[in-house]
Structure 1
């Protein structure tokens, strides 16, 4: 995670509390911890090295990035064997000597790349937008390359997205706190940590980002506390709370976010449907089946009409509705059959659009379909 704790005792410091080393900016809760870290914790040997790397945050980002890239390359090793990067056309990166990854929905020989090549490509696109004074809409499309494949246009997932999150933070962490790109990079990092299943770390970064945006927004900057930005951050934080089983906080935030997006954009907007899917899945997981059904009966037809049957949000809504059908206490045989039929149809579409390795398919539909068929067999018997 980013450095929000004392380097000696791990006490929480947020983004502004505590004391910093005058040379390398390593953070401590006070002079006692700083003295202990220097005398007993080995900081006397690391201090110059950390300063040379650009300070404590930069040093930490560089280290975490290298670790995350190594994990991603190892995870993808079987899939990438014998392939080359679609950006630099080499098997090993010319500078870092890292191997290849692929964490999107590309098929066949497409989509193989080095994390460093993907990061450099995104960095160049964002820099060009800044140099040419492009408007925010154009710049945000370029920012997507930090987390979205330029070939299949699907989000990266798992450890690959985690590695790209650290690559993004590593790129912009040295900028002033008020810099927009640095703030964007914090969000990319948090989302990457969540995708790589580092949920406690993701919570820490989301909470730090929320604190930063509230503080800077109070100073009068519209960007830091715009309604859309804050709703998106609350949605991400609610997801992270859910992953660490802070369910009451997550449910309260998800309801508020859905209400907020509905008022801001209307019930047919893609962002509103996205947060509706998140809320519905949490309701199903918590056993609030009737509330989930009511929400899904309202939103699923809208998503199919507005986004299409192949959109990942539509697919997630259909899966949630099927789960609500067969998990309900009073589920009839017809309900369970409808759930199985719905999952079979949506799973075929998801496999065609996203590929069998995508988490929505491998970790979502396959498990739900197996569970639904087991319920159907038991009820039929």
Structure 2
């Protein structure tokens, strides 16, 4: 997690809370009407060990940088261990070595690449992304070019599939440690915080992800960020609410996000279609099946026309429409057709996204559940 709590007592931090003069570690002070801790926290933390760590943190680039470097190393170790069986005997497609020449870390692969493709060191992926983004900044390339290159922080340059799971988390920390030292209003720093939140979410660190996302949203609002940036962050928070079981909060926020994208871009924009799917998913988790079906039946033809039949969003819309049909008030023939469609969707996801992608695994898990619930032949 980024440093959003008092170092001594873990109380929530104000963005302008006082800091240790040398290492910039933050502490809260008393403010009228707020139950914040007082300056005693800093003295207490100093006595409990910060005195010994302060110089080391200062040498590591101050508190946020020191924390980011530490969390990055931990996340890389977790990712390498999780990918160990898949990466055995392989080499990095960037540096062509099995072990990284400097860090001695092993390989990872968390995309849709197959066979011997896609294996890499997190350090190599991070360095590749950093070089591309630095080049765009140094040469004053267009915002679109910089945004496209920033995608290397979260998507494979070979298959163009977004990384998932603990690999996404490690890259999130890599991105954050690269840009954390920039000014708060710097675009890259803000984008890095977003990537960190998404990485933590991908690795199931939901509470940590929410802490980062809420800090991100507070920063954006304070800086007067454009509406589309606010909507992206609110959507990420709503998705985290889902995972934490805060379903009514997720539904309310997804409604606002969906309405916001419609006003900005209209119903045929990918952002609006994604928001519609997420909004419907909120209804599905609350077992409001008729509302799911009404919304997704309107959006499915649009998604097919705009994004294509094999796009991730189109497949997800179809999948949740099938689930609402199978769990809601539907005829036997409608349920049979929904089960057949789920089999088709699972096969397409496996072919397009790869067998290890979370969406593929989830699709097969859903199919297995409904096959047990409705043991009908679907041929």
TM-score of the two chains, using structure 2 as the length reference: 0.95
Q: Partners of 2:195 and 2:289 in 1: how far apart?
A: 33
- 1:144-159 matches, cutoff 5 A: 144-159=151-166
Q: Partners of 1:203 and 1:249 in 2: how far apart?
A: 13
**What per-residue deviation string (whole Å, max 9, x for no partner) do you get for residues 228-282 of structure 1?**
1111111111111121122222111101111111121111111111111111222
Tell me the residue number matched to 2:355: 356
> Which deviates more, 241-250 or 115-124?
241-250
Q: Runs ≥4 in structure 1, deviation > 6 angstroms?
A: none
Tell me the residue number matched to 1:222: none
2:40 matches 1:32: yes
Size of the aligned set, in residue pairs, is 369
Tell me the residue number matched to 1:16: 16
- 1:20-99 matches, cutoff 5 A: 20-29=19-28, 30-40=38-48, 42-99=49-106
Q: Tell me if the contact between 2:91 and 2:119 (Cα under 8 Å) persists in the aligned partners.
A: yes
In structure 1, list runs of 5 or more residues that go unmatched: 218-224
Q: Partners of 2:350 and 2:61 in 1: how far apart?
A: 45
Which of 173, 189, 214 is residue 180 of structure 2 equivalent to? 173
Corresponding residue SS for 1:28: coil
TM-score of the two chains, using structure 1 as the length reference: 0.95
Q: Tell me if the contact between 1:161 and 1:192 (Cα under 8 Å) persists in the aligned partners.
A: yes
Q: Partners of 1:187 and 1:124 in 2: how far apart?
A: 20
In structure 2, list runs of 5 or more residues that go unmatched: 29-37
Q: Partners of 2:237 and 2:264 in 1: how far apart?
A: 19
- 1:152-301 matches, cutoff 5 A: 152-217=159-224, 225-301=225-301
Q: Tell me if the contact between 2:76 and 2:170 (Cα under 8 Å) persists in the aligned partners.
A: yes
Q: Tell me if the contact between 1:147 and 1:155 (Cα under 8 Å) persists in the aligned partners.
A: yes
Q: Tell me if the contact between 1:333 and 1:376 (Cα under 8 Å) persists in the aligned partners.
A: no
Computed over aligned residues only, the root mean square deviation of the Cα atoms, in angstroms, reads 1.4
**What per-residue deviation string (whole Å, max 9, x for no partner) do you get for residues 318-359 of structure 1?**
11011001111x232112211111111111111110111110
2:317 matches 1:339: no
**What per-residue deviation string (whole Å, max 9, x for no partner) do you get for residues 91-120 of structure 1?**
000110000000000111000000000000
Q: Partners of 2:59 and 2:170 in 1: how far apart?
A: 23
Q: Partners of 1:54 and 1:351 in 2: how far apart?
A: 44
Q: Tell me if the contact between 2:107 and 2:120 (Cα under 8 Å) persists in the aligned partners.
A: yes
Q: Partners of 2:14 and 2:320 in 1: how far apart?
A: 36
**How far 1:151 moved relative to its partner?**
0.5
Corresponding residue SS for 1:134: coil
> Which deviates more, 195-204 or 305-314?
305-314
